[in-house]
Amino acid sequence: MPDPSQLTQFPRPSVAVDTAVLCPVPGRGLHVLLTHPGDGMWQLPGSILRPQERLAEAVARCLREKARLVDRAPVQLHVFDQPDRDDRGWVISVAHLDVLSAGDVGLARTGDDGVSESGTAESDGEPAEAVATDSDHADAPVHRRRLVPVHEVHELSSEHQEIVRVAVHRLRALHERTPDPFGLLESEFSLRQLRELHEIVAGESLQADTFRRTMLPLLEPTGQAVSQGRGRPAQTFTRRSELALRADSQAVEDSRR
């Protein structure tokens, strides 16, 4: 029997990090960012953990090198540890979730000229592709990038499709109870703007009155209004701070005693 004090006697899996970068695209629905190294297949930005590297460092590195995203701090999503999940061998994946607007990714939807912020032409109304060239190593492969609807990720491996599925489920659950949890909107917004964002994430229309009742206790009115086309200007709100929400919760508990 192996000596537990000698770790070299135990087989060790490789550890990978994979990040589902989700982007709500107005008029197009929820998308996920894919990268392509030039050969092989489209994939989520990911990497095998290097010696002495921390998970957060590996995530930041592969987002920078493969997705051209810097200064990001994705949240841990789930550990996928099925022993046979990767045909290369025993690989445990620590999946992460990040949420950005298409503009922040650099693949924003464009105007009438059909050219994205990256300078890449779009066709058939699909999000443009761009090339990520930043890398810590001169000989690292150049990665192409594209945004794909979350329900059209069939070109991904089954393992990465599962990561996208779990990421979408988590994001939708967060939006059910939290207004704009990843702060994609401006600091002040109307209920209509908030609902439109949540509808993109949910992938369906939301009943306006129900949405209003759910979100109002979590918002702070600004006393200002914004024009939204025809009709009366709409009142704007900000997200209530965690401190204020905790204080309200404690007040409710105290009143029940």
Paired tokens of 32: 């996920």
What is the identity of the amino acid at 147?
A: L
Is residue 37 domain-shared with residue 156, that is, in the same domain?
yes
Helix (H) or strand (E) holding 145: strand 143-149
What is the structure's pLDDT at 141?
A: 55
With 70 as the cut, is the pLDDT of residue 165 above it?
yes
Q: Render pLDDT for 191-245 as a digit per residue (tens, 0 to 9).
A: 999 999 999 999 999 999 999 999 999 999 988 887 776 667 889 999 887 545 4
Helix (H, G, I), strand (E, B) or coil at 211: helix
Number of domains composing the chain? 2
What is the structure's pLDDT at 132?
A: 42
With 50 as the cut, is the pLDDT of residue 75 above it?
yes
Is residue 197 domain-shared with residue 172, that is, in the same domain?
no
What is the structure's pLDDT at 5?
A: 64
What is the structure's pLDDT at 197?
A: 97
Is residue 221 domain-shared with residue 124, that is, in the same domain?
no
∠248-249-253 over CA atoms, to 5°?
Answer: 115
Can you spell out the DSSP letters for 39-108? Answer: SS--B-SEEEPPTT--HHHHHHHHHHHHH---S--PEEEEEE--TTSBTTB-EEEEEEEEE--HHHHT--
Last residue of a domain, one of 126, 157, 176: 176
How large is the average pLDDT for residues 182-198?
94
Task: Specify the CATH number for the domain of residue 149.
Answer: 3.90.79.10
Is residue 227 domain-shared with residue 166, that is, in the same domain?
no
Is residue 38 domain-shared with residue 128, that is, in the same domain?
yes
Last residue of a domain, one of 135, 157, 176: 176
Q: Render pLDDT for 17-51 as a digit per residue (tens, 0 to 9).
A: 999 999 999 999 999 999 988 777 899 999 998 98
Is residue 49 domain-shared with residue 156, that is, in the same domain?
yes
In 10 A of CB 227, how many CB atoms? 10
The CA-atom distances, in angstroms, between 206 and each of 22, 176, 199, 236 are 20, 11, 6, 19
Q: Render pLDDT for 102-121 as a digit per residue (tens, 0 to 9).
A: 888 887 543 322 223 333 33
What is the structure's pLDDT at 232?
A: 75
What percentage of the chain exceeds 90 in pLDDT?
Answer: 50
Last residue of a domain, one of 129, 147, 176: 176
In angstroms, the CA 46 to CA 16 distance is: 7
Task: Specify the CATH number for the domain of residue 225.
Answer: 1.10.10.10
The whole model's pTM is what? Answer: 0.78
The CA-atom distances, in angstroms, between 81 and each of 78, 101, 235, 245, 248 are 9, 30, 48, 36, 40
